[in-house]
Chains A and B, each alone.
Chain A
Amino acid sequence: MKAILLNESSSSSFNPYFHAATLLAAALAVCLVFFGDFLFAAAALVVAFVSFLTTRHLTRLVAKANEQKSDLDEQLIQSQKLAAIGELSSGIAHEINNPLAIMGQETEWIKHLLKADNLQAPGATEELRDSLREIVDQVDRCKEITHKLLDFARKKEPLIQAADVNKLIEDMARLVEKEAAQKNIQILREYQKNLPRVPTDPPLLRQVVLNILNNAAYAIGKGGAITIATRLSGGDAVELAFSDTGCGIPKEQRDRIFDPFFTTKPPGEGTGLGLSISHSIIVKLGGRITVASEVGKGTTFTIQLPVGLT
Chain B
Amino acid sequence: MPAKTKVLIVDDEERFRDTLKKLLTANGLETNAVGSGMEAIEELHQQPYDVILLDVKMPGMSGLEALAELKRINRDVEVIILTGHASVDVAVEIMRLGGYEYLLKPCPMEELLAKIESAFERKTAREERTKKVQTTASS
B107 at the interface (CB under 8 A from A): yes
The verdict on A54 contacting chain B, using a C-beta distance below 8 Å, is no
In the bound complex, CA of A104 to CA of B15 (Å): 12
* A97–B84 CB distance below 8 A: yes
Interface residues of A in 88-106 (CB under 8 A from B): 90, 93-94, 97-98, 100-106
Q: How far apart are B84's CB and chain A's nearest CB, in angstroms?
A: 4
CB of A87 within 8 Å of the partner chain? no
Q: How many residues of chain A have a CB within 8 Å of chain B?
A: 21
Residue ID in chain B nearest A138 by CB atoms? B15
Question: CA–CA, A253 to B130, complex, Å?
Answer: 46
Cα of A97 to Cα of B85 in the assembled complex, Å: 9
Whether the pair B22, A109 counts as a contact (CB closer than 8 A) is yes
**Cβ contact within 8 Å between A109 and B23:** yes
Indicate if the CB atoms of A90 and B106 lie closer than 8 Å.
Answer: no
Contact A102-B16, Cβ < 8 Å, known A94-B84, A97-B106: yes
Q: Which residue of A lies closest to B19 (CB)?
A: A105
Min CB–CB distance A12 → chain B (angstroms): 49
Set B16, B85, B106, B108: member contacting A94, Cβ < 8 A: B85
Q: Contact at B23–A104, with CB atoms within 8 Å?
A: no
Partner of A105 from the list B16, B57, B59, B84 (CB cut-off 8 Å) is: B16
| Residue B128 is within 8 A (CB to CB) of chain A in the complex | no
Whether A98 pairs with B23 at a CB distance below 8 angstroms is: no
A93:B84 contact, CB within 8 angstroms: yes
B-chain residues with CB within 8 Å of residue A104 when the two chains form the complex: 106-108
Residues of B20-72 whose CB lies within 8 A of A: 20, 22-23, 26, 57, 59
> A93-B84, A93-B85, A102-B13 are known contacts. Are A109 and B19 too (CB-CB below 8 A)?
yes
A90 near B85 (CB under 8 angstroms)?
yes
A102 contacts B84, C-beta separation under 8 Å: no
Give the docked Cα–Cα distance between A90 and B108 (Å).
22
Asked if A259 lies at the interface with its beta carbon under 8 angstroms from chain B, I say no
Say which residue of B12, B19, B108 sits within 8 Å of A102 (CB atoms).
B19
- Whether A112 and B106, one on each chain, are in contact in the complex, defined by CB atoms closer than 8 angstroms, is no
Residue B125 CB within 8 A of the other chain: no
Q: In whole Å, how far is A272's beta carbon from the nearest beta carbon of chain B? A: 12
Cβ of A235 < 8 Å from any Cβ of B?
Answer: no
* CB pair A112 B108 closer than 8 Å: no
B22 near A267: Cβ-Cβ < 8 Å: no
Instruction: Among A90, A94, A108, find the residue whose CB has the most chain B CB atoms closer than 10 A.
Output: A108
The interface residues of chain A lying within 8 Å CB-to-CB of B105 are 97-98, 100-101
Binary CB contact string for chain A from 133 to 149 against chain B (1 if under 8 A, 0 otherwise): 01000000000000000
B residues within 8 A CB of A93? 84-85
Most chain B beta-carbon neighbours within 10 Å: one of A98, A106, A264, A266? A98
Nearest chain-B residue to A94 (Cβ)? B84
- Could you tell me the distance between the alpha carbons of A310 and B107 in the complex, rounded to whole angstroms? 54
A105–B106 CB distance below 8 A: yes
B109 near A: Cβ within 8 Å? yes
CB distance from A304 to the nearest CB of B (A): 32
A266 to B13, CA, bound (A): 8
Task: Please report the C-alpha to C-alpha distance between residue A102 and residue B26 in the assembled complex, in whole angstroms.
Answer: 17
Within 8 A of A (CB), among B100-116: 105-109
Name the A residues within 8 Å of B19 (CB-CB): 102, 105-106, 108-109, 131, 134
| A residues adjacent to B (C-beta < 8 A) | 90, 93-94, 97-98, 100-106, 108-109, 112, 131, 134, 264, 266-268
22 contacts between A and B (CB under 8 A): A93-B84, A94-B57, A94-B85, A97-B84, A97-B85, A97-B105, A97-B106, A98-B13, A100-B106, A101-B105, A101-B107, A102-B13, A103-B106, A104-B106, A105-B16, A105-B20, A105-B106, A109-B23, A131-B19, A264-B59, A267-B13, A268-B13
- 15 other contacts beyond A101-B105, A266-B12, with CB at 8 A cut-off? A93-B85, A97-B85, A97-B105, A97-B106, A101-B84, A101-B107, A102-B19, A104-B107, A104-B108, A105-B20, A105-B23, A112-B26, A134-B15, A267-B12, A267-B13
